[in-house]
Amino acid sequence: MNMFRNESGEATPSAPCILFVDDDPDVQVAARLLFRRRGIDMLSACGTEEALTQLASSSVDLVLLDLNYTKGMTTGAEGLALLRDMLVLRQDLPVIVVTGHSGVTIAVAAMRAGATDFVMKPWNNERLLALVEGTLKRRQTAEALEAEPAMIVASGELRCLVAEADRLAVTRAPLIITGAAGAGKMLLARRIHALSQESDPVTIIRAEECEALPQESGTWIFRNIDALSVPMQRRLADRLDERVAPRIIALSSLEQPALEAVLDPRLLLHLGMVVLSLPPLCERPDDVMALSAHFLRYFSIRHGLAEPVLDEERSRILCRESWPQNVRGLRAVLERAVLTGTWGTSSDASETATQGTPTLRDTERSLIETALRRHGFNVTQAARELGLTRPALYRRMARYGL
């Protein structure tokens, strides 16, 4: 799908664009009118060269390809050849082939060669539109999911939760996602938005810094909704009373009862219909294993370094950890393992995690974490409070996986 960046850097979709390959100018004109009414731009080409040039030079989301576009040709051979050339150029390109009633065999050959679907001529306008729009929508969803970091789901608990989230994604229902810091609330919220097929932009709001509600609608993801001031909570409840309201996904590290106690009752009625609770990582050993394999592979590719071996003993240690920073902590440990080629830090972490009394290391980590949280992860302010330079704080953050 064509994308452009808005001022806040979010990618938002522009009008989709299809390329129609057909040698009949009258059919081209009729098709252009049909698609324009549905907000779809149409480029046209009447032969092989023109089609390949259009494809290479324009941002095409889908091709509608007549298999016989030269007068007198009925075998479909030229269409099939062009289909193959187009798929070499753009492997993921959806191509819907157009063929006459007698051309079922050709249509089947085209599907085998990689066409997404086919339509018979003369086509029914509504059916053609439904086919094109459905294909564009599926492609948009797949692209949106690809643009997000992959969400690894292995444990039964997470699988159930994600299935519920996916089911509700397409509704505009407000959702609350609770879970400890680093458990994956934001990733889940982004996944829900990606699957919602909403073309409106997503706005991420830090509740503790929120002094005015955004102008635009779309989806608003609130980090730490519990930190939203009481007047702002009331203003948000008023906004949600309006007929065209934004979709809210509210995140919180508080557990549900504690969250309900701090939210304005009217806001809670709006938001609290469905609460998705992410369990802490230490309760999901299957996810620890799957995430470890994923991050080791990911970081070794990203840094161009060898992938450390994850043997049984190391797997046991990782599963026994308490992971106070949840997935964020695990991710940092695995990136460090790739960068240093050793597991040293992870064993250190596992030792500290199992000891009863806090060590100097625990205390330093906890002081740094508290300062960072107090300043909303503003490194300059946290460093000032801790009496450290920014580079010194960055080094410690890296050491502790913060």
Ligand X SMILES: Nc1ncnc2c1ncn2[C@@H]1O[C@H](COP(=O)(O)OP(=O)(O)OP(=O)(O)O)[C@@H](O)[C@H]1O
Tokens 């508290």 sit on residue: 370
Cα–Cα dist 204/148, whole Å: 15
Contacting range for ligand X; rule: CB under 6 A; set: 47-55, 94-102, 163-171, 176-184: 176-184
Distances (CA, A) of 172 to 168, 177, 205, 268: 8, 15, 18, 16
Q: Which of 3, 46, 173, 181 binds ligand X (CB under 6 A)?
A: 181
Place of tokens 């991420």: 204
Q: Which stretch binds ligand X (CB under 6 A): 42-50, 107-115, 174-182, 305-313?
A: 174-182
In the range 11-70, which residues lie near ligand X by CB under 6 A?
Answer: none
Stretch that binds ligand X, among 38-46, 49-57, 145-153, 391-399 (CB under 6 A): 145-153
| DSSP code string of 197-234 | T--SPEEEEEGGG--S--S--SEEEEETGGGS-HHHHH
**Member of 63, 98, 183, 276 binding ligand X (CB under 6 A):** 183
Task: Fill in the amino acid letter for 147.
Answer: A
**Among residues 235, 328, 361, 384, the one that binds ligand X under rule CB under 6 A:** 328
Neighbours of 201 (CB within 10 A): 18
> CA 283, CA 281: separation in Å to the nearest integer?
5
Q: Which is nearer to ligand X, 266 or 373 (CB)?
A: 373
**Least Cβ distance, residue 254 to ligand X (angstroms):** 11
Q: Give the residue with the Cβ less far from ligand X, 209 or 351.
A: 209
Closest distance between ligand X and the C-beta of residue 7, in Å?
23
Q: Which of 187, 274, 319, 388 binds ligand X (CB under 6 A)?
A: 187
Q: Which residue matches tokens 């941002």?
A: 59
Stretch that binds ligand X, among 163-171, 177-185, 201-209, 386-394 (CB under 6 A): 177-185
Q: Is 331 among the residues that bind ligand X (CB under 6 A)? A: yes
Number of helices (H), then strands (E), belonging to the chain: the values are: 17, 12
Helix (H) or strand (E) holding 33: helix 25-37
198, 209 Cβ separation under 8 angstroms? no
Which positions from 92 through 131 interact with ligand X, judged by CB under 6 A? none
179 binds ligand X (CB under 6 A): yes
Considering only the stretches 19-27, 164-172, 326-334, 344-352, report the one whose residues sit in contact with ligand X under the rule CB under 6 A. 326-334
Asked if the peptide bond before residue 122 counts as cis, ω within 30 degrees of 0, the response is: yes
Contact stretch for ligand X (CB under 6 A) within 9-17, 73-81, 164-172, 324-332:
324-332
Sign of CA dihedral 236, 238, 239, 241: positive
By DSSP bridging, strand 247-252 and strand 17-21 are unpaired
The two structure tokens encoding residue 400: 């502790």
Closer residue to ligand X, CB minimum distance, 42 or 372: 372
Minimum CB separation of residue 329 from ligand X in Å reads 9
CB of 343 to ligand X, least distance (A): 20
Question: What one-character DSSP code corresponds to residue 261?
Answer: H
Q: How far is the CB of 37 from ligand X (least distance, A)?
A: 41
Angle between helices 379-386 and 360-374 (to 10 degrees): 130
Rounded least distance, CB 199 to ligand X, Å: 23
CB of residue 5 to ligand X, shortest distance in Å: 21
Q: Which of residues 214-243 bind ligand X (CB under 6 A)?
A: 223
CB atoms within 10 A of CB 392: 12
DSSP 74: -
Taking CB under 6 A as the criterion, which residues in 146-165 touch ligand X?
149, 151-152
List 44, 54, 196, 253, residue binding ligand X (CB under 6 A): 253
Q: Cβ of residue 295: shortest distance to ligand X, in angstroms?
A: 8
When asked if residue 327 is in the footprint of ligand X (CB under 6 A), the reply is yes
Q: Which amino acid is at 153?
A: V
Instruction: State the Cα–Cα distance between residues 103 and 324, nearest whole angstrom.
Output: 63
Would you tell me which residues interact with ligand X (CB under 6 A)? 149, 151-152, 179, 181-187, 223, 251, 253, 291, 327-328, 331
